[in-house]
Structure 1
Amino acid sequence: MSEEVLTSVEDGILVVTINRPEAKNAMTKAAAEGIAAAMDRLDADDSLRVGILTGAGGTFCSGMDLKGFLRGESPSIEGRGFGGVVQKPPVKPLIAAVEGYALAGGLELMIACDLVVANKDAKVGIPEAKRGLVAAAGGVMMLPDQIPERIAMELALTGDFISAERAYELGLINRVTDGSAFQGAKELASRIIANGPLAVRVSKQIIKESRGWSMDERYDRQAQLIGPVFMSEDAREGAAAFAEKRAPNWKGK
Structure 2
Amino acid sequence: MSKVNFSVENQIGFIEINNPPVNALDQELLNELSVLLDNISNEIDVLIISGAGEKAFVAGADIGEFPQLSKETGEQLSLNGQRVFNKLEAMPQPVIAAIDGFALGGGLELALACDFRIATTRSQLGLPEVKLGIIPGYGGTQRLARLIGPGKAKQFIFSGEFISAEQAAQIGLVEEVTNESAIDEAKRWAKKIQSRGLLAVSAAKRAIHEGLQTTLQEGLALEANLFGEICETKDKNEGVTAFLEKREPKFMKI
* TM-score, with length taken from structure 1: 0.90
Residue 51 (structure 1) aligned to one of 47, 50, 59: 47
- 1:79-158 to structure 2, matched below 5 A, reads 81-82=81-82, 84-86=84-86, 89=89, 90-158=91-159
- In structure 1, C-alpha distance between the alignment counterparts of 2:3 and 2:108, rounded to whole Å: 19
Q: 1:195 to 1:106 in 2, by over 3 A?
A: same
- 1:1-253 to structure 2, matched below 5 A, reads 3-22=2-21, 24-42=22-40, 45-58=41-54, 59-70=56-67, 81-82=81-82, 84-86=84-86, 89=89, 90-252=91-253
Structure 2: which 5+ residue stretches go unaligned? none
Shift of 1:87: 6.0
Shift of 1:249: 2.0
> 1:128-150, CA deviations, whole angstroms, 9 ceiling, x for partnerless residues?
01111111211122211111322
Q: 1:245 to 1:121 in 2, by over 3 A?
A: same
Give secondary structure in 1 for the equivalent of 2:53.
Answer: helix
Shift of 1:123: 0.4
> 1:168-195, CA deviations, whole angstroms, 9 ceiling, x for partnerless residues?
0111111101011111111111111111
Indicate the percent of aligned positions where both proteins have the same amino acid.
34
Q: Is the 8 A contact 1:25 1:60 kept in 2?
A: yes
Shift of 1:86: 4.1
> 1:42-99, CA deviations, whole angstroms, 9 ceiling, x for partnerless residues?
3xx232111011100021101111123347698x889763482246521211100001
Give the alignment's Cα RMSD to 1 decimal. 2.4
- In structure 2, C-alpha distance between the alignment counterparts of 1:186 and 1:143, rounded to whole Å: 25
The one-letter code of the counterpart of 1:47 is E
Give secondary structure in 2 for the equivalent of 1:179.
Answer: coil
The one-letter code of the counterpart of 2:27 is K
Deviates more, 1:138-147 or 1:6-15: 138-147
> 1:90-121, CA deviations, whole angstroms, 9 ceiling, x for partnerless residues?
12111000010000111111111101000011
- In structure 2, C-alpha distance between the alignment counterparts of 1:140 and 1:128, rounded to whole Å: 11
> 1:185-211, CA deviations, whole angstroms, 9 ceiling, x for partnerless residues?
111111111111110001011111112
